Structure 1
């Protein structure tokens, strides 16, 4: 069955459509409208913007940073065993569905967050994040099952490009609602923002039906047994022992960990930086993220082309160096036009580094392996732990220094460490054979 799935256009297009479905969460909830709305409805009368969260006094932006860290810590802890179960039982698609519905329903629940119920907003934003991150583990694991190594880069880029296009379309609609609420018979921009969370959840759940109906349930025909929980544990332990023997893989994961600390933190907290450090209004912040998304579409394909010409490693090295420059530049940004220019550069490398990282890791999985979810769990756990530490350190540095500029500058250190590990990696062009590298 698996051989018939390779390079099947219908399956590949359906797989890529999950990027279209879920990326609206990443843009609307994590990057643009929700952070701006959250800051707006939790902004206190005092200069410190402190809020009361379950009896604890904390700065609103610090709380938001920590909530992101917490959500990805949860998924980092549970995804390895879940992916092991998915590989052992052939239930990859079922797990993907569960987390997708958890995330989309949590987005819908955010419609009821109005600032007076802070705990509600934080709890469901965390659950939405868990749903998003959890579904991605199993989604990514399909990549080596539906195409051949020579097409990993292009198909991965296609998924990210579709995600950026879909999320931009929905963001424009949401932006129109926020800017002109009367056009949509809404009382104010706050209601428009809350409605955008509802629409995001419906979009995510609705378009997910395309991959859910087309992607194979059990491509390797694995025998589903009652003791799959125990088998899941053995599966992940087996893959971990294999990963330790593949030098190129754990070196790449080390590099990916450090540069992802920077990439993902920028993605999640760029809007709060513009709001707090530059005092940009909500419409300009959303416009900034819109610039990033549009440029990222071209960036995904551009760096896929560069990797085809010069190789994945060289492309990744170039992008990491650009990211170092971005972190340094953020420290000195003071005007809206400088912020827009920086956003353009971020967009160029944002799409490229995410797409190419995923396809590069796919090439490092032994071609004889059928444990793709388990392998990708290590990739995703690496990314999630990077988000945990990246967003936590960002919030912590802001808390002790009082400035997000220092937080942004510190991210450059993570990129430099990631670059060091990346230079030690030799990436095969057509995938790893069964021998351990």
Structure 2
């Protein structure tokens, strides 16, 4: 059956990236690591703080790793990708608001709220990614996926810039001090995430499941368990799919680790907060046009080759970062990350969407997210433990090269179909 989609649907779908990227930029990458180190865990040694940050990210990723395939199967069986996505968005938004209530030295509560917020963010992305096949035809996957990441970097960058101004000049906004301003930054991020999710709920149409009537919940759960086993067998039989997933498992781990641990790495090297924030802004605004450019590159040379170009860039970035000595080099590396980060993510999503059965998109994307987040358990822990055991954050960072190398080698073996 030919699917007819509209430009409005594609833009509404892509605009969710604008909504949720504010969370990953402002909360996950920037303010939570800084505020955790300086306020919520200010009485702990530096190595313990890094270990707890890595553990928090790992716990959230482990939760999604265990739930993702089952959630995707339930969504496909019942035709409820959008309702299930809404549930996880609600969890993420409420937990982000919860961070505004955590007091000084209460690192346990901060970790708890942060883990719930990240689970909401990652869980919603399972269904958001799967909706790509509902809003675009295969020939448009690269372009539409890149549009989403491009809007995400732009929207995330704009809100992040606003929150930076909020914390640097709290008196301009009638706030008492920087601590109050950071709490407001978490609250504003939650509202932004919820508000700009609305276009997707209004305008994106989910493809109807095969059955005319949605089965009762218990029947749906039982069918989903059976279907999950069948999907796993199906993936094992589709060499192109499982080989891509294995490659993705390794290389996206390196990408996620660079994103999640970059601020803490800069803090461990002694860089000032304003240098780290400036670097993040550079990454965001360079990544916006770069992600759109990678959509064009993917159509010209193929998504697989486009991803390999991005991974080669990450190898160079990692080596240079391990030798970094001052903030100016951090700025250069931030710009380099911006050039490749969105491209690798966008083309990975579009390449995978072109390889899977489109009527089982949510469950196949469940496995996609499962492996991506399972890998994200290893990366932050690898950086944290190698850095702690060697007392050198630089050596911890270099461990990421193994992940990029294995991922690129396996991706090269993935056939076109």
With the shorter chain as reference, the TM-score category is: over 0.9
Which is worse superposed, 145-154 or 33-42?
Answer: 33-42
Aligned equivalent of 2:80, options 82, 91, 94: 91
Q: CA deviation at 1:44?
A: 4.2
Aligned equivalent of 1:239, options 231, 234, 245: 231
What SS is found at the alignment partner of 1:32? helix
CA–CA distance in 1 between the matches of 2:195 and 2:221? Answer: 30
Number of the residue aligned with 1:20: 18
Contact 1:39/1:60 (8 A) holds in 2: yes
What SS is found at the alignment partner of 1:13? helix
Number of the residue aligned with 2:268: 276
Number of the residue aligned with 2:323: 332
Number of the residue aligned with 2:215: 225
Instruction: Report the TM-score when normalising by structure 1.
Output: 0.92
Number of the residue aligned with 2:335: 344
Q: CA deviation at 1:350?
A: 0.4
CA–CA distance in 2 between the matches of 1:259 and 1:115? Answer: 37
Aligned equivalent of 2:46, options 46, 49, 63: 49
Number of the residue aligned with 1:77: 66
CA–CA distance in 2 between the matches of 1:273 and 1:185? Answer: 33
Number of the residue aligned with 1:129: 118
CA–CA distance in 1 between the matches of 2:197 and 2:415? Answer: 36
Q: CA deviation at 1:43?
A: 5.2
Contact 1:360/1:427 (8 A) holds in 2: no
Listed one character per residue, the Cα deviations across residues 369-397 of structure 1 (whole Å, up to 9, x for unaligned) are 41110011111111111111111111111
Contact 1:255/1:421 (8 A) holds in 2: yes
Contact 2:20/2:152 (8 A) holds in 1: yes
Unaligned runs of 5+ in 2: none
RMSD of aligned alpha carbons: 1.5
Contact 1:43/1:49 (8 A) holds in 2: no
Aligned residue pair count: 414
Number of the residue aligned with 2:243: 251
Number of the residue aligned with 2:254: 262
CA–CA distance in 2 between the matches of 1:15 and 1:3? Answer: 19
CA–CA distance in 2 between the matches of 1:334 and 1:43? Answer: 26
Contact 2:157/2:284 (8 A) holds in 1: yes
Unaligned runs of 5+ in 1: 51-58, 429-437
Q: CA deviation at 1:42?
A: 4.0
Number of the residue aligned with 2:30: 32
Aligned equivalent of 1:216, options 185, 191, 205: 205
What SS is found at the alignment partner of 1:116? coil
What SS is found at the alignment partner of 1:187? coil
Q: Which runs of 4+ in 1 moved over 3 A?
A: 42-46
Q: Which has the higher helix share?
A: 2
Aligned pairs for 1:130-145 (under 5 A) are 130-145=119-134
Contact 1:19/1:162 (8 A) holds in 2: yes
Aligned equivalent of 1:372, options 361, 369, 386: 361
Contact 1:313/1:426 (8 A) holds in 2: no
CA–CA distance in 2 between the matches of 1:118 and 1:267? Answer: 22
Contact 1:65/1:395 (8 A) holds in 2: yes
Contact 2:170/2:178 (8 A) holds in 1: yes
Contact 1:263/1:350 (8 A) holds in 2: yes
CA–CA distance in 2 between the matches of 1:45 and 1:246? Answer: 51
Instruction: Report the TM-score when normalising by structure 2.
Output: 0.96
Number of the residue aligned with 1:11: 9
CA–CA distance in 2 between the matches of 1:249 and 1:299? Answer: 27
Which is worse superposed, 393-402 or 347-356?
Answer: 393-402
Which is worse superposed, 306-315 or 172-181?
Answer: 306-315
CA–CA distance in 1 between the matches of 2:41 and 2:207? Answer: 49
Number of the residue aligned with 1:424: 413
What SS is found at the alignment partner of 1:371? helix
Listed one character per residue, the Cα deviations across residues 154-196 of structure 1 (whole Å, up to 9, x for unaligned) are 0000001111111111111101111111111111111111110
Aligned equivalent of 1:291, options 261, 264, 282: 282
